């Protein structure tokens, strides 16, 4: 069974939020940039009892199977400008040829791979700390990016602690969670994810308004970007965060009104969301701005993967979490009413990753990701 918390403290409008991140202008300068697709999944909407369901598919960002490169690249760019004293992307591309800088990060998979890829763009080394239970496919992906991988004895949170302890003048930490004294880089990462929402807004121009947005929560960076973006809209949609059951640090934190750590081990198949401590930078915004929180067991993620595959969309376990949340919301009438879901609701979810573990994907869906074909409903 899933857990649900309605956040009575959410405010209709938050003050001081900007309407547009400069990150999208930076991303448009990078080779291989193109907006990801926004799919209209009307058959799935009917299955869920909604009027309309839009799916923003982040399965191929700059050749990587997840959205994380958006936050990592924007944070690395800004940090390198600060450290080197250079002032443009072109200067960084040529000025770091003989640099001894190494970029560090902890990861369950996608963030570390993104840091390693962006490090390569600037000719820098990458060292990635990973928890003990990370799968071999994710290790291989990190090695393929040229990263040095350090497996530690412990959870994702312990990997973060060891990466931070190893940082220094020439060893720059690029982490998507924050704590007192380490706020700037995670804030840049949140800004970088704003590109997803900026693209979606452009793709939605002229369409009927969105009523409901569901977004995955690990440490909370993507959810913070989503909250910041939609709170600038004149007609704000309702915002729901989705976490794995057993790694639901944001749900528990909102219930408590303060940061709560969920001790590991965190064993959900939604590996990218197996985070026990919320980002200090994200938590205040989510406490004030997100309308509800869900934590769901793995069965919902597996069913969401199958339903998305029927629509021609390949989604990994973490990537399918938004639809997993919709399954939970719409199967319980009282919860649906609390969130305001009915037959005229128009919802948006973000598929944040493709099948990063093809073997696991085939076991869940019943066919390999390579044979799933997109349907006719999409906007590039």
User: What are φ and ψ of residue 261, in 5° steps?
Assistant: -95, 130
CA–CA separation, 247 and 301 (whole Å): 14
Per the annotation, the verdict on 169 as an active-site residue is no
CA distance 34 to 199: 10
Helix axes 298-310, 358-365, angle to 10 degrees: 80
- Best CA proximity match to 298, nearest among 353, 243, 254: 243
| Joined tokens for residue 220 | 């909370």
Question: Does residue 56 carry a catalytic annotation?
Answer: no
The catalytic residue among 90, 98, 108, 298 is 108
Q: E strands along the chain, which residues?
A: 3-6, 38-40, 52-57, 102-106, 125-130, 148-151, 171-173, 212-216, 238-244, 292-296, 346-351
Strands 212-216 and 346-351: parallel
Is 198 within 8 Å of 211 (Cβ atoms)? Answer: no
Annotated catalytic residue within 25, 42, 56, 68? 68
Write out the catalytic residue numbers. 68, 108
């Amino acid at each position: 069974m899933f857990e649900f918390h309605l956040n009575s403290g959410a405010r209709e409008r938050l003050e001081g939020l900007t309407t547009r991140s400069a990150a999208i202008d930076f991303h448009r300068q990078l080779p291989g940039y193109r907006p990801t697709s926004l799919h209209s999944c009307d058959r799935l909407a009917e299955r869920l009892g909604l009027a309309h369901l839009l799916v923003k598919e982040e399965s191929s960002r700059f050749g990587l199977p997840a959205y994380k490169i958006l936050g990592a690249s924007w944070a690395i760019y800004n940090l390198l400008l600060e450290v080197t004293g250079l002032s443009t992307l072109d200067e960084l591309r040529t000025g770091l040829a003989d640099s001894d800088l190494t970029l560090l990060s902890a990861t369950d998979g996608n963030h570390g791979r993104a840091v390693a890829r962006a490090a390569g763009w600037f000719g820098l080394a990458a060292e990635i700390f990973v928890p003990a239970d990370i799968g071999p496919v994710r290790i291989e992906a990190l090695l393929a990016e040229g990263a040095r991988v350090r497996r530690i004895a412990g959870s994702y949170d312990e990997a973060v602690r060891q990466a931070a302890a190893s940082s220094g003048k020439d060893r720059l930490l690029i982490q998507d969670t924050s704590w007192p004294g380490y706020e700037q880089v995670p804030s840049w990462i949140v800004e970088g994810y704003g590109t997803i929402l900026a693209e979606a807004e452009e793709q939605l121009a002229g369409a009927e308004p969105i009523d409901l947005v569901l977004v995955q929560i690990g440490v909370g960076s993507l959810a913070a970007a989503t909250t910041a973006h939609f709170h600038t809209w004149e007609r704000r949609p309702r915002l729901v965060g989705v976490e794995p059951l057993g790694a639901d640090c944001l749900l528990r934190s909102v219930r408590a009104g303060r940061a709560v750590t969920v001790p590991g081990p965190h064993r959900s198949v939604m590996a990218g969301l197996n985070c026990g401590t919320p980002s200090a930078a994200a938590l205040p915004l989510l406490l004030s701005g997100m309308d509800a929180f869900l934590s769901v067991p793995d069965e919902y993620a597996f069913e969401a993967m199958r339903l998305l595959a029927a629509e021609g969309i390949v989604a990994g376990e973490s990537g399918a979490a938004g639809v997993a949340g919709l399954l939970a919301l719409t199967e319980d009438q009282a919860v649906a009413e609390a969130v305001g879901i009915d037959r005229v609701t128009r919802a948006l979810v973000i598929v944040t990753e493709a099948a990063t573990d093809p073997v696991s994907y085939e076991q869940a869906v019943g066919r390999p990701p390579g044979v799933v074909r997109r349907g006719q409903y999409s906007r590039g």
